[in-house]
A = this chain, B = another copy of it.
Amino acid sequence: MADLDSLIEDLVAANRILASEGIVDAFGHVSARHPDYPGRFLLSRARSPELVEPGDIMEFTLDGVATASIPAKPYLERFIHGGIYELRPDVQSVVHSHSHGPIPFGLTGEKLRPVVHSSATLGAEVPVWDAQTSFGDTDLLVSNVAMGIDLAGAVGSGNCVLMRGHGSTVVGKSIREAVYTAVYLEVNAELQWKASFLGKAKFLTPGEIEKASLRLGQARPGEGFNRSWDYWCRRAGIPSKPNA
């Protein structure tokens, strides 16, 4: 249970960090795969992320069914999370948001690619998923298992996907990595957008992406995901705790 409690603590912190950093607002959500039951995931009841508390965390099977019959209302789009956990056994956390930076790329087909080492975790090129392609006219929300699986297919083996007319979703091997990538997807989109007016931007090479990702993913205390996590905790008013 210590693992679960610790994970829920990080999950609640992730909700608040994403709100504090402007990645989510009234909408958006972050989940984690259950540490003991890989066929389940943890996600808050339908609530604005900045308000989420440990007691709000619900448990779902990968088809989006709550494992306990409690009266709380779940997020409509929990199928985003379930679909990705289904197709990607390596993924431990998923963030979905409407953060502004990436949306123009999803609307225009301009490829979003890493322009700074800090955003190497985006991968070489961020794919765009359009609900219209497989499902025709919808309200654009991922509101059932079929849409969740279709979206997960677009993520492929990468870490991010843009959702046309909607927002974006990122994944990570930990909550901290997913939060990091969600923030740097926004940062990179802003930088690439600005660079696109000055001339042809030089993107990271495949070799640079690989090496910078490796550096970020290292479990070196104080570097990479942990230093930014601690920084964002302070900004969100979350008491710091020693890194795992």
Contact = CB atoms under 8 A, between A and B. Distances in A.
Given A100-B191, A116-B103, A139-B211, A227 B26 contact: yes
A98 interface: yes
A7 B169 CA distance: 38
Report the contact-size class of chain A (Cβ under 8 Å from the partner). 35 or more
A173 interface: no
A26 to B, nearest CB: 4
A107 B195 contact: yes
B104 A139 contact: no
Contacts of A26: 227-228, 230-232
Interface in A11-57: 25-27, 46-48, 50-51
A81 interface: no
Contacts of A137: 205, 207-208, 210-211
- How many copies of this chain does one complex carry? 4
A49 to B, nearest CB: 10
Contacts of A139: 117, 120, 208, 211-212, 214-215
Contacts of A204: 140, 165
A52 to B, nearest CB: 12
Interface string A177-208: 00000000001001101111111111011011
B193 A108 contact: no
A239 interface: no
B104 A117 contact: no
Contacts of A141: 117, 212, 215
28 contacts: A25-B231, A26-B230, A46-B222, A46-B227, A48-B230, A48-B231, A48-B234, A50-B234, A98-B116, A103-B195, A104-B194, A104-B197, A105-B198, A107-B115, A107-B191, A107-B201, A108-B202, A116-B140, A117-B165, A117-B166, A130-B202, A132-B205, A132-B208, A137-B208, A138-B211, A139-B212, A140-B212, A165-B202
Interface of A: 25-27, 46-48, 50-51, 73, 76, 98, 100, 103-105, 107-110, 115-118, 120, 130, 132, 136-141, 164-167, 187, 190-191, 193-202, 204-205, 207-208, 210-212, 214-215, 221-223, 227-228, 230-232, 234
